[in-house]
Amino acid sequence: MTGDKRWVVGVTDHMMGPPVLEAQVLGEAVEVDFFDTRREEDFDPARLARLDALLVWGAPVTRRSVPHLTRCKGVVRFGVGYDKIDVAALAEAGIPFANNPDYGTEEVADHAVALILSLQRRLWEHDHRARSHTTTWQTNTLSPLLRSAKATVGVVGVGRIGTAVVNRLKPFGHRILGFDPHQPAGHEKAVGYARVRRLEDLLGQADIVTFHCPLDSTTRGLLSAERLERFKPGAILVNTARGELLDGLDGLEAALRSGRLAAAGLDVLPSEPPAPHPLLDAWRERADWLAGRLVVTPHNAFHSDAAAIEMRTNAAETVRLLLEEGHLRNRILE
């Protein structure tokens, strides 16, 4: 530290360039040390030992780094999910951890609903096939085509984002089912959905299933090939939560080829950037059997210009409050 700097805050990595905004929020009393790497093995132990707090974007923080955080008062993730953070190791070292849940809710909910409605209306299939229509035009209507008021949407995970999805869908007239064992009794009455006690019951009834649950030991690989076969025939799957909910892509490819799934909209994939796979090859090539039935966006459902500023500001503000007041908001207890 130099001059009148009282604290050092590390930033592991950033998708939006150097942490200039974060430095402004943290204030003049903080020196910001930008590691600029997602590779934990590249973290310099001497630099880690200087930190009073650590902000994390996409890099893992595990038992490899934690022992070197000898003066760290807290670790804060820019995002919501924290499956790359060893919270138990931090707790053992007496270092509290917090995520950043109060940003991007609107964006992810909007993204999920956009996928739901566009796949329900088969917009991408119509767009693909309309390219070859010549002598006929309006008669080229795909069927079946669901009316919203006749369709059932199953929401898996009815927390902040799942609730926002429910609220956006209600005006369209969908019947809405929700599965979330972590929500208290009566949550469904306050929000306005029908609670389902077993995931399999929801899958068997829903024409569209959208996932908004966290990634943990109970949800990793939740969407196995066997479970995909329990979806209602011709259902639509939407995942804007975590790619690792899918137990690889083989089962998804089989479900799309067989017609068990009519379509899938994915903002997240089991590995990112995606590893080679026949399903993704067919998607990239616009193979006729798949065209318009698989929509993939590059894990950016959370993003808008406003959300990016909100995310960065909130995370830095969490660290500032920790350093100045000794209080860590949004703390995760393991």
Name the residues annotated as catalytic: 242, 272, 299
Q: How far apart are CA 334 and CA 324, in angstroms?
A: 25
Q: Is the dihedral of CA 111, 112, 114, 115 positive or negative?
A: positive
CA distance linking residue 257 with residue 282, whole number of Å: 11
Contact of 25 with 76, CB cutoff 8 Å: no
Strand partners, 238: 210, 265
Core vs surface per residue 291-309: b (16+ CB within 10 A) or e: bbbbbbeebebbbeeebbe
Q: Which long-range contacts (CB under 8 A, 24 or more apart) does 193-202 make?
A: 193/155, 193/158, 193/166, 196/154, 199/156, 200/230, 202/154, 202/156, 202/177, 202/178
Residue whose token pair is 């820019």: 78
Q: 267 with 239: CB under 8 angstroms? A: yes
Spatial CB neighbours of 18, under 8 Å, sequence gap ≥ 6: 34, 36
Q: 254: which strand partners?
A: none
Distance, CA of 64 to CA of 159 (rounded, Å): 32
CB 166 within 8 A of CB 112: no
Q: Under a CB-based contact definition with an 8 Å cutoff, are residues 157 and 216 in contact?
A: no
21 contacts 316 by C-beta, under 8 angstroms: yes
List helix spans (H) across the chain: 20-26, 45-49, 87-92, 105-120, 123-130, 160-169, 187-191, 199-205, 225-228, 250-258, 278-284, 305-325
Q: How close are the terminal C-alpha atoms of the chain, in Å?
A: 33
